[in-house]
Structure 1
Amino acid sequence: MIKISSRIQKSILLAGIVMASHGCKIDIAPTDRYTEEAIWKNPANMELYVNGLYAEFQTFKFGQFPIGYSNATDALTDIMKYTSSTAGNGTVNILATDATRVNAAGPQLNYWQAAYTRIRRINEFIDGLRKYAVVSDAEKDQYEAEARFVRGYVYFWLVKLHGSVIIMDDLAKHTVKDNPRSSEDDCWKFIASDFTYAAEKLPPVQTGIKAGRATKGAAYGMLARTWLYAASIAKYDRKQFNEDPLTGVPEANALAYYKNAADAAGEVIKLANEGYYELESDFAALFTNKNTKEAVFKLDFVAPQFTHQYDLGFTPPGDVPGQCLVYGVPTAELVDEFEMNDGTKFSWSNPTQAADPYANREPRFYGTILYNGASWKGRTINTTPSSATEGIMEYGVSTEPRKTVTGYYVRKMLDQSNTNFIQNKSTQPWIEMRYAEILLIDAEAKTGMNDVSGAQNSLNALREKRGLPNTPASTPAQLMAAIEHERKVELAFEGHRYWDLRRWRKAHTVLNKVRFSGHRVSAEGTGFKYEKISADNADRQFTPELYYMPIIVNELQNNDALDQIDGW
Structure 2
Amino acid sequence: MKNIKTTIKRTSVAILALAAISFQGCNLDLNLQDRLVEESVWSDPSTAELYVSGMYGVFQKFQFGNFPNLGYNNAMDALADGMKFTSNTLGNGTVNTLISNSNYFSPATVGLNFWNPGFVGIRRVNEMLEGVRTKSKLSEEQKIMYEAEGRYVRAYTYFWLAKLHGSLPIFRSLGDYNSKDKPRSSEQEVYDFMIEDLTFAAENLPKTNLSGRATKGAAYGMLSRVALYAGSIAKYDNKQFNMDALTGIPQAKAKDYFGIAANAAAKVVELAEEGLYALDADFAEIFRKKDTKEAIFRVDYLAPNITHDYDLGYVPPRDAAGNALVYGVPTAELVDEFEMADGTKFSWSNPVHAANPYNNREPRFEATILHNNSIWKGRVVNTTEADVVEGFVEFGKSGDPKRTVTGYYAKKMLDPNNTTFVVNKSTQSWVEMRYAEIVLVLAEAKAQLDDYASATTYINMLRNKRGLNAISVSGNTQAMQAIEHERKVELAFEGHRFWDLRRWRKAHIELNGKKMTGHKITGLGTGYTYEVVSADAVNRSFTGKLYYLPIPENEVQLNLGLDQIFGW
Give the TM interval when normalised to the shorter protein. Answer: over 0.9
What is the match of residue 467 of structure 1?
Answer: 467
Structure 1 residue 136, shift from structure 2 partner: 1.2
Q: State the alpha-carbon separation in 1 of the partners of residues 209 and 371 from structure 2.
A: 40
Q: State the alpha-carbon separation in 2 of the partners of residues 518 and 119 from structure 1.
A: 42
Q: Report the secondary structure of 2:194's partner residue.
A: helix
Whether contact under 8 Å (1:236, 1:503) holds in the other structure is: yes
Whether contact under 8 Å (1:331, 1:406) holds in the other structure is: yes
Q: State the alpha-carbon separation in 1 of the partners of residues 419 and 567 from structure 2.
A: 50
Whether contact under 8 Å (1:156, 1:191) holds in the other structure is: yes
> What TM-score does the superposition give when structure 1 sets the normalisation length?
0.93
Structure 1 residue 38, shift from structure 2 partner: 3.9
Kindly tell me: are residues 281 and 167 of structure 1, through their superposed partners in 2, closer, same or farther at Cα, counting changes over 3 Å? same
Amino acid at match of 2:192: K
Alignment map for 1:198-217 (pairs within 5 Å): 198-205=201-208, 212-217=212-217
Amino acid at match of 1:447: A
1:105 to 101, 108, 118: 108
Kindly tell me: are residues 28 and 242 of structure 1, through their superposed partners in 2, closer, same or farther at Cα, counting changes over 3 Å? farther
What is the match of residue 130 of structure 2?
Answer: 127
- 1:279 and 2:282 are equivalent in the alignment: no
Alignment map for 1:345-424 (pairs within 5 Å): 345-424=345-424
Q: Report the secondary structure of 1:406's partner residue.
A: coil
Structure 1 residue 473, shift from structure 2 partner: 2.4
Which ranges of structure 1 fall in alignment gaps of 5 or more residues?
A: 1-13, 19-25
Q: Report the secondary structure of 1:560's partner residue.
A: coil
Q: Report the secondary structure of 2:277's partner residue.
A: coil
Q: Report the secondary structure of 2:470's partner residue.
A: coil
> What TM-score does the superposition give when structure 2 sets the normalisation length?
0.93
Q: Report the secondary structure of 2:407's partner residue.
A: coil
What is the match of residue 5 of structure 1?
Answer: none
- Structure 1 residues 197-224: Cα deviation after superposition (integer angstroms, max 9, x where no partner): 11011001166xxx64110000000000
Structure 1 residue 322, shift from structure 2 partner: 2.7
What is the match of residue 44 of structure 2?
Answer: 42
What is the match of residue 157 of structure 2?
Answer: 154
- Structure 1 residues 239-262: Cα deviation after superposition (integer angstroms, max 9, x where no partner): 000000000000000011101100
Q: State the alpha-carbon separation in 2 of the partners of residues 502 and 42 from structure 1.
A: 45
Structure 1 residue 28, shift from structure 2 partner: 12
What is the match of residue 11 of structure 2?
Answer: none
Q: State the alpha-carbon separation in 2 of the partners of residues 68 and 308 from structure 1.
A: 16
Q: State the alpha-carbon separation in 2 of the partners of residues 194 and 466 from structure 1.
A: 34
1:56 to 52, 55, 58: 58
Whether contact under 8 Å (1:443, 1:458) holds in the other structure is: yes
What is the match of residue 539 of structure 1?
Answer: 539
Structure 1 residue 472, shift from structure 2 partner: 3.3
Q: State the alpha-carbon separation in 1 of the partners of residues 71 and 42 from structure 2.
A: 37
Structure 1 residue 181, shift from structure 2 partner: 0.2
Whether contact under 8 Å (1:67, 1:91) holds in the other structure is: no
Q: State the alpha-carbon separation in 2 of the partners of residues 474 and 468 from structure 1.
A: 19
- Structure 1 residues 94-129: Cα deviation after superposition (integer angstroms, max 9, x where no partner): 000010001100252010000111111110110111
- Structure 1 residues 451-492: Cα deviation after superposition (integer angstroms, max 9, x where no partner): 001111111000000000112322221011000000000000
Whether contact under 8 Å (2:43, 2:138) holds in the other structure is: no
- 1:182 and 2:185 are equivalent in the alignment: yes
Q: Report the secondary structure of 2:431's partner residue.
A: strand
Alpha-carbon RMSD: 1.9
Q: State the alpha-carbon separation in 2 of the partners of residues 36 and 449 from structure 1.
A: 48
What is the match of residue 168 of structure 1?
Answer: 171
Relative to structure 2, which stretch is displaced further, 489-498 or 519-528? 519-528
What is the match of residue 7 of structure 1?
Answer: none
Q: Report the secondary structure of 1:308's partner residue.
A: coil
Whether contact under 8 Å (2:439, 2:459) holds in the other structure is: yes
- 1:196 and 2:194 are equivalent in the alignment: no
Amino acid at match of 1:376: W
What is the match of residue 22 of structure 1?
Answer: none
- Structure 1 residues 34-80: Cα deviation after superposition (integer angstroms, max 9, x where no partner): 95144122111111011111111001111111234335111011110
Kindly tell me: are residues 173 and 416 of structure 1, through their superposed partners in 2, closer, same or farther at Cα, counting changes over 3 Å? same
Which ranges of structure 2 fall in alignment gaps of 5 or more residues?
A: 1-15, 21-27
What is the match of residue 258 of structure 2?
Answer: 258
Q: State the alpha-carbon separation in 1 of the partners of residues 447 and 498 from structure 2.
A: 21
What is the match of residue 320 of structure 2?
Answer: 320
- Structure 1 residues 410-447: Cα deviation after superposition (integer angstroms, max 9, x where no partner): 00000001011001100000000010000000000000
Alignment map for 1:509-520 (pairs within 5 Å): 509-520=509-520
Whether contact under 8 Å (1:316, 1:326) holds in the other structure is: yes
Kindly tell me: are residues 34 and 470 of structure 1, through their superposed partners in 2, closer, same or farther at Cα, counting changes over 3 Å? farther
Q: Report the secondary structure of 2:329's partner residue.
A: strand
Whether contact under 8 Å (1:309, 1:426) holds in the other structure is: yes
Whether contact under 8 Å (1:34, 1:125) holds in the other structure is: no
Whether contact under 8 Å (1:34, 1:124) holds in the other structure is: no
- Structure 1 residues 320-351: Cα deviation after superposition (integer angstroms, max 9, x where no partner): 12320000000000000000000000000110
- Number of equivalent positions: 542
Q: Report the secondary structure of 1:194's partner residue.
A: helix
Alignment map for 1:525-564 (pairs within 5 Å): 526-564=526-564
Structure 1 residue 526, shift from structure 2 partner: 4.1
Q: State the alpha-carbon separation in 2 of the partners of residues 513 and 34 from structure 1.
A: 60
What is the match of residue 145 of structure 1?
Answer: 148
What is the match of residue 9 of structure 1?
Answer: none
Q: State the alpha-carbon separation in 1 of the partners of residues 68 and 445 from structure 2.
A: 30
Whether contact under 8 Å (1:69, 1:89) holds in the other structure is: no
Q: State the alpha-carbon separation in 2 of the partners of residues 70 and 495 from structure 1.
A: 12
- 1:94 and 2:97 are equivalent in the alignment: yes
Structure 1 residue 182, shift from structure 2 partner: 0.3
- Structure 1 residues 512-551: Cα deviation after superposition (integer angstroms, max 9, x where no partner): 0000000011115742111110001100000110000000
Alignment map for 1:14-93 (pairs within 5 Å): 36-70=38-72, 72-93=75-96
Whether contact under 8 Å (1:188, 1:226) holds in the other structure is: yes
Kindly tell me: are residues 276 and 526 of structure 1, through their superposed partners in 2, closer, same or farther at Cα, counting changes over 3 Å? closer
Amino acid at match of 2:140: D
Q: Report the secondary structure of 1:293's partner residue.
A: coil
What is the match of residue 3 of structure 1?
Answer: none
Q: State the alpha-carbon separation in 2 of the partners of residues 356 and 231 from structure 1.
A: 42
What is the match of residue 500 of structure 1?
Answer: 500
Q: Report the secondary structure of 1:232's partner residue.
A: helix
Q: Report the secondary structure of 2:364's partner residue.
A: helix
Q: Report the secondary structure of 1:40's partner residue.
A: helix
Q: State the alpha-carbon separation in 2 of the partners of residues 168 and 461 from structure 1.
A: 40
- Deviation above 6 Å: which 4+ runs of structure 1? 26-29
Whether contact under 8 Å (1:384, 1:392) holds in the other structure is: yes
Q: State the alpha-carbon separation in 2 of the partners of residues 193 and 437 from structure 1.
A: 22
